[in-house]
Amino acid sequence: MITCTGCSLLCDDIDVVIENHRIKEVRNACRRGAAKLKGCRNRLRPSIDQTPADIDTSIKRAALILKNARSPMLYGWSNSTCEAQSNGIKLAKKLNAIIDDTSSFCQGLLIEKVLKKKFRACSLDDVKNKADVLVYWGSDAQDSQPRHLSRFSYFPRGESRQRGYEEDRIAIAIDVRESNTAKICKGHFYRIPLKGDREFILSLTGALSGKVPKHDAKRILELADIMKKAEFGAIFVGIGLTYSIKDDVDILVALGDMLPNFHILPMVGHYNMRGFNEALFKETGFVNRVRFDSTAVHENKYAIVEALKQKSIDALLVTGSDPLSCLPGSMISYLASIPVICIDPCVTLTSKISKITIPSAVSGIESGGSAVRMDGKVIELSGIVENNYLADTEILSRIMEEL
Amino acid sequence: MGIDVGKFLKSPEFEIAITTYRDIFQVEALEYDRFGEEYRKLSAVIIMSREDMKKMGIKTGDRVKLINDHGSIVVEARESKREEPGGIAFMVNSPWSSALVSDDTGGKGIPEFKNITARISLTKNDISSLENLIFNSGEVEKNER
Ligand code: SF4
């Protein structure tokens, strides 16, 4: 059995058949996981200025760029092992650099609340064993964390939920779009307008305290009733909800406070985003957007999006992410104008504009380590395929040695 | 030599609200080969309600230009297979949708990836290539305005 790093569920019940140093067959994983485990078609090669180079020279040049930069940023980390993340934080300290990760424009806001214990959280194993009301809010788990419903929430039998979805569990979807998850929540899909989450939360909190909602009163009162009667409820917060209430996350804290039997769990995409958030939080008290100087300073200007917009960084090391494939298109030109060091197993959009590329082993498949599941549980990664690549954590150590 | 008058007639433009979502088949294609044809086919698409398409004179398979102050892309239009209330279109999260996302976050660092407004019109231009999105940041199409 090995662990899948396709998403933050880190399913550890995967069987594989290996042939010629590649995973040939995958059993138990979802489509997303199988694709991740079988690996990309285009492996990255070491290069300098888009010209092939040997790995030692690439590493040396990477160190030189970082050393000479006035304001370097180390970014990515959500597809890196905990070991690489902790090395990355060490490197940032050594360089007095800015460090940020993908949670900066993803679920960081909510993970911070979880780590500061502003939400009542629980483990996915608790969900499996106890949960009777499951609310997918702005989250299409079926397409993003595809085994969430089958391993942990709606379908499985649990200690106090012997009859699973047929009788013991209710699944609810609140979303702008009738997602594949919403389709499963038959009769319990609440379609809201774009940016309508805040108003929906207000209607729901009103209904929970006995007020009749102005719109869709019957259905919202019915939802409030289901939630009030829950013995063990969970709200799975997708990025749809997070983006919609990003300026007022406390409204969700307030909803959680009104529902003493409910737990709030942010749905994380990349396999070890939470690992990075926990590591940096432990070190600095912040989950992302930190600049190390004599102390760790957290400011919004250290968010990747702001730093690129304000053109305030002059070198960027990227690992465990492909920012070019997800940042607003208008940021690409500045990103392409500064020296970028890309550490990745595969050719990515970012590697195509990078000054230095350094290929790494695929973490969890070609190199082992650990990662933190979306609910905070530490899961061991396997590293079962023999290969000649350096692990991401080793590459970072080598860069540090060169400084 | 005849003049192709159609070339100078601008297709009508409509305002459109777009939100993004995830699609497991597109994520699968991304894992295998983010430069591949499959990933492009599954990403460079806008899904619309039947009513909206009718109103705008757009049919499944038509190429449409989406443009706003942040970028411009050409993608394929497709009718949603689901009952949609209309007034909102859907794109999977990808470099194509991101080309239309504003980098102005009010200093907070979180762009409105799921809340995009653009103008849509029929076009005969090719679907935007990934290379064009990376190396020209959509500039080529922007200049065509
Ligand atoms: S649900 Fe996530 S971790 Fe589990 S097999 Fe699918 S991609 Fe892998």
Domain ranges of chain B: 11-133
Q: How far apart, in whole angstroms, are the C-alpha atoms of residue A303 and residue A363?
A: 25
Chain A nearest CA to B9, separation (Å): 29
A145 contacts A8 by C-beta, under 8 angstroms: yes
Beta bridge partners of B45: B76
Band (A162; pLDDT cuts 50, 70, 90): confident
A29 CB near ligand 1 (under 6 Å): yes
Beta bridge partners of B121: B65
A186 closest CA partner among A210, A165, A162, A215: A165
Average pLDDT for chain A: 95
Using a 10 angstrom Cβ sphere, with 0-12 exposed, 13-18 middle and 19 or more buried, the burial of residue B117 is middle
CATH number listed for the domain at residues A41-104+271-402: 3.40.50.740
Chain A nearest CA to B143, separation (Å): 14
pLDDT at A165: 86
Q: Of A179, A194, A324, which has the smallest distance from its Cβ to B115's Cβ?
A: A194
Share of chain B above pLDDT 90, in %: 77
Share of chain B above pLDDT 70, in %: 87
Q: How far apart, in whole angstroms, are the C-alpha atoms of residue A341 and residue A50?
A: 11
| Chain segment B63-108, per-residue pLDDT in tens | 999 999 999 999 999 999 988 889 999 999 999 999 999 999 999 9
pLDDT at B4: 56
A30 CB near ligand 1 (under 6 Å): yes
The answer on pLDDT for B137 being more than 90 is no
Mean pLDDT calculated for residue range A362-389: 94
Residue boundaries of the structural domains of chain A: 41-104+271-402, 108-266
Share of chain A above pLDDT 70, in %: 100
B110 contacts A105 by C-beta, under 8 angstroms: yes
Of 3.55.40.20, 3.40.228.10, 1.20.210.10, 3.40.50.1970, which CATH number belongs to A108-266? 3.40.228.10
pTM for this entry: 0.93
The answer on pLDDT for A289 being more than 50 is yes
Residue A90 DSSP SS3? helix
Q: Any idea which residue has 């549980």 for tokens?
A: A377
CATH class of B11-133: mainly beta
**Count of A-B CB contacts under 8 Å:** 150
| Chain segment A101-117, per-residue pLDDT in tens | 999 999 999 999 999 99
The answer on pLDDT for B20 being more than 50 is yes
Is the Cβ pair A330, B35 closer than 8 Å?
no
How many angstroms is it from A311 CA to the middle of ligand 1? Answer: 37
pLDDT at B139: 46
- Distance (Å) of CA B93 to CA A144, A246, A321, B22, B46: 11, 19, 15, 6, 11
Q: Collect all residues of chain B within an 8 Å Cβ-Cβ radius of residue A332.
A: 133-134, 137
Q: Is B75 on the interface with A (CB under 8 A)?
A: no
Band (B145; pLDDT cuts 50, 70, 90): very low
- Give the nearest chain A residue to B88 (CA atoms): A194
Q: How far apart, in whole angstroms, are the C-alpha atoms of residue B57 and residue B47?
A: 14
Q: Collect all residues of chain B within an 8 Å Cβ-Cβ radius of residue A331.
A: 103
| Chain segment A119-141, per-residue pLDDT in tens | 999 999 999 999 999 999 999 99
Q: How far apart, in whole angstroms, are the C-alpha atoms of residue A305 and residue A331?
A: 8
A102 contacts A277 by C-beta, under 8 angstroms: no
